[in-house]
A and B are shown apart, each in its own frame.
Chain A
Amino acid sequence: MTTLTQSVARPRATTAPQRVRRGLSGKVASAVAIVIAVLWTTPTFGLLLSSLRPEDQIKSTGWWTFFSDPQLTLENYQQVLFGTSSSSGQMASFLINSIVITIPSVLLPLALATFAAYALAWLPFRGREWIYIGIFALQIVPLQMALVPLLSFFSQGVDVFGVHILPAWDLEGPGRFVQVWFAHTCFALPLGIFLIHNFMSELPGELMEAARVDGATHGAILRKLVLPLVGPALATFGIFQFLWVWNDLLVALIFAGGTAETAPMTVRLAQMAGTKGNEWQRLTSGAFVSVVIPLAVFLSMQRYFVRGLLTGSVKG
């Protein structure tokens, strides 16, 4: 901590933007920066430490007592992950659900958005501008607006003026995953097509033209030329979609139900927070289990994510 303070406060070889900072700098400024960093880190740290403390201790003393009376255990994780009683958490089951939900819900929109973006960026057909604008505009529709009708689409099929056009899906058990994949795929497409299209339309057109003159089909151009080049855009959207699906509560609550058969971890955690608000040993370890995978993905892919974020937002 002290080294951080010193390095922030000490004037070093300055570049112009640094002077902007130093304008606000000095001891107060670095103190503020440290306070923010501590404020932002402490809650998560407290959760992690708590999840490792024995049950009676979590419930009777604050996690900071760990420093005077260190006791750690993996008991909470054992219980919350693998316990079989209905009150234990059964997180392992819900963890598997989360994985089963996430993989197709990332792959499908990624592929479909890439195809659509390619067509919109590189195929000269009439009305493509309008289709593109239409898809972009669909970002306006809040998820909340789509939920009730989409649910009835799954459970009752489609009727037009009393004529049954599509049957109900009547999905039961693991089949309900299909609904969730379907919903996530639909909801992800506007943003996905938009992001990938932005990136794709900046590829040099001569490249495609040359390939076509050589007799390559659109399929071949897509596979061999475009895909390797739009890698960064796909990575950005993939991470984004992964985090969104993994962390989603609303779509899962409605389309996956609430049981260990299909519901993801977020749903389980929300249930536990509602009904067992005082079972801190399970809440903390459960929350940490749900946080670990996205954190790992996020940390290892942070660079791509930030890059994509910036091309998408700042440059416009």
Chain B
Amino acid sequence: MDFDFAAEQPKLVQLLIGIAAFLVVVAVILLLVDRAPMRRRAWTHATILLLPAIVLLAIGLVVPAVRTTLLSFMSGDGMRWVGLDNYAWMFTQPEALTVLRNTLIWVLLVPLLVTSVGLLYAVLVDRTRFESLAKSLVFLPMAISFVGAGIIWRFVYAYRADDQDQIGLLNQLVVALGGEPRQWLQDPPLNTLFLIAVMVWIQAGFATVVLSAAIKGIPAEIVEAARLDGASPTQMFFRVTLPSIRSAVIVVLVTQSIGTLKLFDIVRTMTGGQFDTSVIANEMYNQAFRYGETGKGAALAVFLFALVTPIVIYQIRQRREVR
């Protein structure tokens, strides 16, 4: 084994420094809170406890968000103001429009598919003997990184020429059924759908768990009454189950839409955004960090912000209603 452990030591030292810093921060805050006399008004204590978080939020989120908004009106090097040029680019150039189109496809399809697969599965395995095992199997991909999932699925989509043995499962199935092997990830617009399948694969378990809990919460009397009235299975599902778990369905739809809008890793690992598969978050990374077009990247980020905001506000309202 020629692995060099000595070379790794500086990292471990750094880790120790990090943990020590953590302990110091915690100790200092607790010490300050203990020292501040209880008689004083609460805000001394509040300041000590809140200040670190608020400073970090200001540096890490508030100021950057404002600066990004400003950057989006500036040229790539951040030296001069260009007004709405970056936004004009986003809504007129064909390559940018492809990105917007793809994002639209993602955000329409993913929440819908995740929710329907999750709901279907949750209903099907509900109260069966293998329920917890069945749910775990589908929930597992949640723990896998998008990058790891990307590789797993690249392997499923792998392509070998017609005369060779296939190593990708999907092409093997196609060949076994008498078809021609295909480069799944290289033909737009279908390739976007194959990427979307990966996202659905990762997220469906989340939907299953949340919706399954909601289904278990439906009062037994309602179900009983519907049965006595002679409701058919389909009626039962659409008139009893679905309305009863409405708020859980909305939660899943909303969280999935937000997550999908910000999606970056799958596209980057599987196609790198080539073959017309790029989405806003990936293009933002490319523009800002690879091509040095900070202005365009910032404009994409601001647009993302504009898309996410109404969904989050809707979610907050929903929460209020539930309470």
Enumerate A105-146 residues with CB–CB distance to B below 8 Å: 107-108, 111-113, 115-116, 118-120, 123-126, 128, 131, 135-136, 138-146
Interface: A70 (CB within 8 A):
no
CB <8 Å contact, A40 and B201: yes
Given the contacts A44-B152, A148-B298, A189-B53, A249 and B146 also touching, CB distance less than 8 Å: yes
**Which among A37, A65, A190 is the interface contact of B138 at CB below 8 angstroms?**
A37
- From A13-21, A200-208, A229-237, give the one contacting chain B: A13-21
CB <8 Å contact, B22 and A107: yes
Bound CA span A143–B261, Å: 11
CB-CB nearest in chain A for B32:
A219
Contacts of A136 in B (CB 8 A): 316
Most buried by B among A187, A249, A280, A309: A249
Instruction: Mark A156-179 against chain B: 1 for CB-CB distance below 8 A, else 0.
Output: 000000000000000001110110
CB-CB nearest in chain A for B153:
A43
Interface: B174 (CB within 8 A):
no
CB <8 Å contact, A115 and B53: yes
CB <8 Å contact, A19 and B60: no
Instruction: Mark B198-226 against chain A: 1 for CB-CB distance below 8 A, else 0.
Output: 00010011100110011111101111100
**Which among B29, B53, B144, B156 is the interface contact of A247 at CB below 8 angstroms?**
B144
Q: What is the interface size of chain B, counting residues whose CB is below 8 A from a CB of the partner?
A: 146
Interface size class of A (residues with CB under 8 A): 35 or more
CB <8 Å contact, A100 and B224: no
Instruction: Mark A2-14 against chain B: 1 for CB-CB distance below 8 A, else 0.
Output: 0010011000000
Most buried by A among B137, B224, B297: B137
Contacts of B146 in A (CB 8 A): 247, 249
CB-CB nearest in chain A for B216:
A17
**Which among B71, B136, B248 is the interface contact of A148 at CB below 8 angstroms?**
B71
CB <8 Å contact, A287 and B22: no
Contacts of A183 in B (CB 8 A): 60
CB <8 Å contact, A30 and B22: no
CB <8 Å contact, A46 and B155: yes
CB <8 Å contact, B236 and A243: no
CB <8 Å contact, A60 and B130: no
Most buried by A among B53, B153, B165, B251: B53
Bound CA span A250–B297, Å: 14
Interface: B113 (CB within 8 A):
no
Contacts of B312 in A (CB 8 A): 139-140
Enumerate B262-284 residues with CB–CB distance to A below 8 Å: 262, 264-265, 268-270, 272, 281, 284
Query: Which residues of B line the A interface, CB within 8 A?
Result: 1-4, 7-8, 10-15, 18-19, 21-22, 25-26, 29-31, 33-34, 36, 38, 41-43, 45-46, 49-50, 52-54, 56-57, 59-65, 67-68, 71, 117, 120-121, 123-130, 134, 136-148, 150-156, 158, 164-169, 172, 201, 204-206, 209-210, 213-218, 220-224, 227, 232-234, 236-237, 240-241, 247-248, 251-252, 255, 261-262, 264-265, 268-270, 272, 281, 284-285, 288-289, 294, 297-298, 300-302, 304-305, 308-309, 312, 316, 318-319, 322-323
A-B contact pairs, 18 of them (CB 8 A): A20-B218, A20-B236, A20-B237, A23-B233, A46-B156, A60-B165, A92-B3, A107-B19, A108-B22, A116-B50, A119-B49, A148-B294, A149-B68, A270-B269, A274-B269, A291-B143, A291-B144, A298-B142
